[in-house]
Chain A
Amino acid sequence: MRATAQAAPGSLVIAASRLGVVRGLVEFRQTLLSPAELFWTLFINVAYILVLFFQRGHSVEGSSLALLTLPSILGMSVAFGGAQGATSILATHREDGTLLRAKAIPNGMTGYLVAQLVVTSLTTVFGIVVVLIPGLFLVGGIPSAGVGDWLSIVGVLALGLLATLPLGMIIGSSVKSAASGFGLTFLPMCGIVAISGIFYPITALAGWLQAIAQVFPVYWLGLGMRAALLPDAAVAAEIGESWRQVQMIGVLSVWSIVGLVIAPSVLRRMARKESGSVMEARRERALHRGY
């Protein structure tokens, strides 16, 4: 009998998860060193900063509009980073064969999934930091934010990732190609962002639009970030003039639970279906499309 084959399954999963973290860090470093990805990050952030720049002069309920928008952008970035990021990574890796390779090695899928959670989370945090730092200079700092507020930002960030990452993985597992994954997440996300009070207060919208927006995580992530960073007076621009912390945690938790319940079986089914010939067929399709 093989001595080492007796190792407890749990310890093998832990070992593979550790390898997943290593892999995640390697891939995050590669992202940071990739000119194409850096350009994309820079491009998005320049756009955000420009928005803040033009909003500086306007004010809502006594606060500068730019000051309201900065935390909202952070909230939106968490949703984009989680849902869009996970979708695109998974769809791309199914298409290019990364996932099949993970499947061909023992405990490879465990390592792979842990790695993608690490990469997506780090990329999202990185994206937030690069908006936050120039943003803070532009709005002239957020005087009221203390240690507790920064901690609640971390909390909203973590809950936001939990609410959106599994969702992204479900979509990424279900789409036929990376391109359709992008189409399926990016455009709807833009629509949701438009009604979620990110770039202007949600109270300016019609009641039914406000109702729709409150179903999705984007609004609540924006609200959570604003609650953490803005002075108390800014609550006047919110629905019901309240930060609604309990509802925020509630809605994001529901999204997290639904995602975490559905994701494993969707991922398992997707993984089971991967094979060389499925990959080859996808590759043929991609070559026909010309990219």
Chain B
Amino acid sequence: MTVMRELGEPAQNAAADGNETVIAVRGLRMRYGSADVLRGVEFTARRGEVLVLLGPNGAGKTTTIEILEGFRGRSAGEVTVLGVDPAKGDERWRARLGVVLQSWRDHHKWRVRELLHHLGRYYRPYATPGRPRPYDVDELLEKVGLTEQAGQRLSTLSGGQRRRLDVAIGLVGRPELLFMDEPAAGFDPKARRDFHDLVHGLSDLEDTTILLTTHDLDEAEKLADRILILAGGRIVADGSADHLARQVSAEAEVRWSRAGEHFVHSTADATRFVRELFAQYGEDVADLEIRRATLEDTYMALVHRHESGHAEEVASL
């Protein structure tokens, strides 16, 4: 079929040093008609990092991911994914990526193991000594907790089970880079915990770079090496959850009680404040609590600042 005629291109950049940049995005712009969805997105991801992309609905998270996946063109900017411009990525490049799609009712007559096995076979010609492809299907089913459902038709799976199969399909080619758009939507707490373990295992053991979006800030905090917040078409924050919290608010909140009375104090140096508190009141201090800004506080503050028109200030953080 002529549809697949991009194969003839030479292999681009397959260097594999330890600190390799896997994703590099500079000045990425996307315009639909007269609306600018992305206006200069910049970020990079290094090998083995887990990046979580946060942002309000309509901020352009999905657009960004689809551009990186090579599923969508862009209006302007430089984008490199595994050393290749996604707009020109060939099948060899495609084989190194994993994409977790939100499935709906595709392949409903297929059985779980049968489908995973079939899709895995496309990756076999792309195996390398360091990266056997595809994944062993039974091992993968066990990893995502679908061993018992292996013989079931997809149409009989629950929403959460289908979602886990989506993740398994994204992983079957043992990708070097994995994209997941809201992967854990609809997971129960147990499945969610297992999924988090899976993500940690992938980045630690397999050196897989992962970019995912979520609306669950708690999940973002648990998974991310780095969090990116996309608002108003730009990355308005880029760093670890802790790092972001410090950027937005250097102050921690100290709460305590003394003689039945409750106190609250905000301070930039909580340790010193508490030391002085004890020096002054000693054993009278009770119910001590020090609270730093949570990711949720940070996120809300950043998005609010952006939405109330201080975009430039936020972007310069």
B interface residues, tally (CB under 8 Å): 46
B232 at the interface (CB under 8 A from A): no
Tell me the nearest residue of chain B to A110, going by C-beta: B4
Per DSSP, chain A at the interface is helix
B104 touches A13 (CB 8 A): no
> Is B101 located at the chain interface by the 8 A CB criterion?
yes
- Chain B residues with Cβ below 8 Å from A101 are 101, 103, 106-107, 119, 169
Residues on A with C-beta less than 8 A from B126 are 4-5, 106
Interface check B173, CB cutoff 8 A? yes
**A153 close to chain B: CB less than 8 A:** no
Whole-angstrom CA separation of A6 from B128 in the bound complex:
11
CA A3 to CA B4, docked complex, whole Å: 22
Separation of A53 and B150 alpha carbons in the complex (Å): 48
* A11 cross-chain contacts in B, Cβ below 8 A: 125
**How many Å lie between the Cα of A9 and that of B72 in the bound state?**
24
The stretch of B91-99, B141-149, B274-282, B287-295 in contact with A is: B91-99
Q: Select A97's contact among B2, B101, B124, beta carbons within 8 Å.
A: B101
B24, chain A: closest CB distance, angstroms: 21
Contact B62 A97 (CB under 8 A): no
Residues of A with C-beta under 8 A to B173: 105-106
By the criterion CB–CB under 8 Å, are A104 and B1 in contact? no
Contact between A109 and B66, CB atoms less than 8 A apart: no
Whether A12 touches B127, Cβ cut-off 8 Å, given contacts A101-B119, A113-B1, is: no
Alpha-carbon separation in the docked complex, A3 to B125 (Å)? 10
B37 to chain A, nearest CB (A): 11
CB of A264 within 8 A of chain B?
yes
| Contact code string A1-17 (vs B, CB < 8 Å = 1, else 0) | 11111110101110111
Is B181 interfacial (CB-CB < 8 Å)?
Answer: yes
Residue B297 lies at the interface, judged by CB distance under 8 Å to chain A: no
Indicate if the CB atoms of A1 and B4 lie closer than 8 Å.
Answer: no
In this complex, what residue of A is CB-closest to B63?
A277
| Complex contacts, B198 vs chain A, CB 8 Å | none
Interface segment, one of A195-203, A211-219, A266-274? A266-274
Q: Which of A4, A274, A279 has the most chain B CB atoms closer than 10 A to its own CB?
A: A4
Binds A, one of B7-15, B42-50, B236-244: B7-15
Q: Is the CB–CB distance between A16 and B92 below 8 Å?
A: no
A266 to chain B, nearest CB (A): 10
Interface residue stretch chosen among A18-26, A54-62, A80-88: A18-26
**Contact with B101, one of A2, A5, A100 (Cβ below 8 angstroms):** A100
**Residue B105 at the A interface, CB < 8 A?**
yes
Asked whether, in the complex, the Cβ of B3 is within 8 Å of the Cβ of A274, the reply is no
Chain A residues contacting B4 (CB-CB under 8 Å) are 13, 16, 107, 109-110
Complex Cα–Cα for A10 and B122 (A): 14
B109 within 8 A of A: yes
Q: Is the CB of A2 within 8 A of B14?
A: yes
Which one of A12, A22, A30 contacts B110 once the chains associate, using CB atoms below 8 Å? A30
Interface assignment of A111: CB less than 8 Å from any CB of chain B: yes
- A283: chain B residues at CB < 8 Å are 104
| CB of A194 closer than 8 Å to a CB of B | no
Cβ-defined contact, B66 with A19, below 8 A? no
Chain B residues contacting A276 (CB-CB under 8 Å) are 62, 65-66, 71, 101-102, 181
Interface flags for A103-134 (1: CB within 8 Å of B; 0: not) read: 11111111101100000000000000000000
Q: Known: A113-B3, A276-B62, A276-B181. Contact between A105 and B123, CB under 8 A?
A: yes
Given the known inter-chain contacts A101-B169, A275-B71, please indicate yes or no for A26 contacting B118, CB distance below 8 A. Answer: yes
Shortest beta-carbon distance from A104 to chain B in Å: 4
Complex-state Cα separation, A27 to B111, whole angstroms: 11
**Nearest A residue (CB) for B71:** A275
Give A156 Cβ to nearest chain B Cβ, in Å.
25
Q: Which one, A7, A17, A26, A275, contacts B114 given CB within 8 A?
A: A26
State in angstroms the CA–CA spacing of A30 and B154 once bound together.
13
A96 to B105, CA, bound (A): 6
- Contact mask for chain A residues 252-290; partner B; CB cutoff 8 A; 1 contact, 0 none: 000000000000100110010011110110010000000
Question: Shortest Cβ distance from A20 into chain B, in angstroms?
Answer: 9
User: Is the CB of B309 closer than 8 A to any CB of chain A?
Assistant: no
Say whether B2 contacts A264, CB under 8 Å.
yes
CB <8 Å contact, B14 and A274: no
B40-67 near A? 1/0 per residue, CB < 8 Å? 0000000000000000000000110110
Binding site for A on B (CB under 8 A): 1-4, 7-8, 11, 14, 62-63, 65-66, 69, 71-72, 91-92, 94-95, 97, 99, 101-110, 114, 118-119, 121-129, 169, 173, 181
7 extra interface residue pairs, beta carbon distance < 8 Å, beyond A106-B95, A268-B3, A276-B101: A3-B128, A9-B91, A19-B121, A97-B105, A110-B4, A113-B3, A264-B1
- Across the A-B interface, give the 10 residue pairs with the lowest CB-CB distance, nearest first: A9-B7, A106-B95, A275-B71, A98-B106, A97-B106, A30-B109, A264-B2, A104-B99, A106-B91, A106-B94
Q: B-contacting residues of A (Cβ < 8 Å)? A: 1-7, 9, 11-13, 15-17, 19, 22-23, 26-27, 30, 34, 93, 96-98, 100-101, 103-111, 113-114, 264, 267-268, 271, 274-277, 279-280, 283
Give 17 A-B contacts (CB < 8 Å), ordered by A residue: A5-B92, A16-B4, A16-B122, A104-B69, A104-B99, A105-B95, A105-B122, A106-B95, A108-B122, A264-B1, A267-B1, A275-B71, A276-B62, A276-B66, A276-B101, A277-B63, A283-B104
